[in-house]
Amino acid sequence: MNYGNAYGTSDPAEQERIGLREGEFAVEMANLLRRDGHRIDVVSVGSTPTARHAARVGGVTELRAGVYAFLDLKQVSLGPWSLDQCALTMLATVVSHARPDKYVLDAGLKAFAGENYEWGTYGRILDQPEVVVTRATEEHGIVMLPDGVADPGWTIGQKVRVITNHACGTTNMHDELFAVDGERVVDRWRVIGRGRVR
């Protein structure tokens, strides 16, 4: 039974409809299994676009939305979130500025993961979201400044924070995450799922 895919819409009303139905369907299935004598303690639902809606359904006991904790550019594109709510960024260093409209960062596909959702971009600069990573190789992100976008004036060696397209893929590319408060590192988190796919 297919009730729709919330990743196919950025309409809040449609996401709510899909999310509520997702929660209702999970509870219905759990109740059918219970009726047949199965012990069902957990009714788990959620994808990030529907999580806030599915969790409102009585009988849902667990929410397992993946990127919900971080958010990313994909989720911003679906709404209702904004760039300033994205908690995960990649810290990259400017390594080249060989021409006025081009910067090169030391973070590419191996840092961002490879998803560009056919947008033709790999991330946006946190404090200058009109500046995007327009191309990526394995080790480098290329920022090409289109007409009308102000030159950020970066210097070689300067650090920039990139909001990536997909936080899940980005997280999986790294052994550790650094929790920061402003510019201060307050904790380090090991990515325990890293390298577990066999």
Of 59, 60, 58, nearest in space to 46 by CA: 60
Print pLDDT tens along the chain (198 aa). Answer: 344 578 888 898 999 999 999 999 999 999 999 999 999 999 999 889 998 899 999 999 999 888 888 999 999 998 888 999 999 999 999 999 999 999 999 999 999 987 888 888 999 999 999 999 999 999 999 999 999 999 999 999 999 999 999 999 999 999 999 999 988 999 999 999 888 877
In the chain, the amino acid numbered 84 is D
Residues 164 and 113: beta-carbon distance below 8 Å: yes
Q: Which domains does the chain have, with CATH numbers?
A: 6-65 (no CATH), 84-190 (2.40.37.20)
In the chain, the amino acid numbered 41 is D
Looking only at the bridges linking them, the beta strands covering 44-45 and 62-63 are parallel
